[in-house]
Amino acid sequence: MPAVIASPVALDADEWRAAEAAHRERADALTHGHRLRAARGERHPVEDFLFTYYSYRPAILRRWHPGAAVALRDASSTERAGWRWYAPGDQPRSLVVDAAAFRRERSAMVDAIARLLRATASRTPGFGCFGLHEWAMVYRDREHRHDVPLRLGQGGTDAVVEAHDLRCTHFDAFRFFTPDAAPRNRTRLTRADQPAAEQPGCLHAGMDLYKWAVKLGPVVPGSVLLDAFELARDIREIDMRASPYDLRDWGYDPIAVETPDGKSEYVRRQRAFAERARPLRAALLAAAGTG
């Protein structure tokens, strides 16, 4: 029989059920377009990325957790009682997330996530990459990741890459660089060195907070999970608007990072995303038990 877990915070049944319902409504609104397209067999080059690259189903976003140290009163007879990493609280018929068990059973994963988040948070944000990672992914290559025309054509796109200093710090962007583009990056990034290279100004580091929120599962409050998803969604839009792809037929005006004005706009957006990411990164570190 699982141990009874004491909790300093408790929610009455009407409180946590209302929070759960509001969470599901918000999650459904965030995934509505993707679910409609999936039912019709359609794809969107910008909005579907979070569901294909990360491979997390919309249903994951619907599952609300209160986070660690929050007891849910009158929950022991609900389906939640059968969910993994839930245990009896110190009040009758209550349930609480068994954060200690989760962290113990997933210790290697939790430690790796916390190490990366902590290292990223410790660094000064860098804002000099100008989103050129997407350009490096198509440099001198006729096979592109997206079935969308290049705004400047292949030659113009290659010229932009050659005129700039590539400063990508995110391995999961760098690994998609073309063979001709990879040697042009300031640093040869590797998976093993990711904690040493990741920095909080990187759009992809901010986008990945959604991935870490999903992986940390029940110890992450539902609001943090959905906030991380919304941040990732907004970053994805700017990431693609600053890319070499011509997305005007999809309703996206370009951020022309090959120009001074485009660079200024990109950096302005990048700074705003870094500010939004900062408290989410801290919340995930706290959920991991190392904040």
DSSP string spanning 147-209?
A: SS-BTTHHHHHHHHHHTS-B----HHHHTTS-TTTGGGBSS---STTHHHH--TT-HHHHHHH
CA distances to 66, 195, 240 from 103, in Å: 16, 20, 36
Average pLDDT of span 200-222: 97
What is the average pLDDT across 155-162? 98
- pLDDT for res 1: 46
| Positive/negative CA dihedral, 97, 100, 101, 105 | positive
Cα 53 to Cα 286: distance, rounded to the nearest angstrom: 26
Instruction: Please report, for residues 4, 18, 119, 188, 273, the alpha-carbon distance to residue 197 in angstroms, rounded to integers and kept in the order given.
Output: 42, 42, 9, 10, 19
151 pLDDT more than 90: yes
Q: What is the pLDDT of residue 6?
A: 66
pLDDT band at 93 (very low <50, low <70, confident <90, very high): very high
User: In the predicted model, what is the mean pLDDT of the chain?
Assistant: 94
**Mean pLDDT of the region 204-227:** 97
Residue indicated by tokens 């705003």: 272
Helix (H, G, I), strand (E, B) or coil at 5: strand
In tens, the pLDDT along 172-191 reads 999 999 999 999 999 999 99
Angle at 228 between CA 76 and CA 275, to 5 degrees: 135
Structural tokens at position 42: 């359609």
Averaged pLDDT, 152-175? 97
Q: Tell me the three state secondary structure of residue 137.
A: coil
Which pLDDT does position 69 carry in this prediction? 86
Which has the minimum average pLDDT: 83-87, 143-147, 249-253? Answer: 143-147
Q: What is residue 233's predicted lDDT score, i.e. its pLDDT?
A: 97
Confidence of residue 288 (pLDDT cuts 50, 70, 90): very high
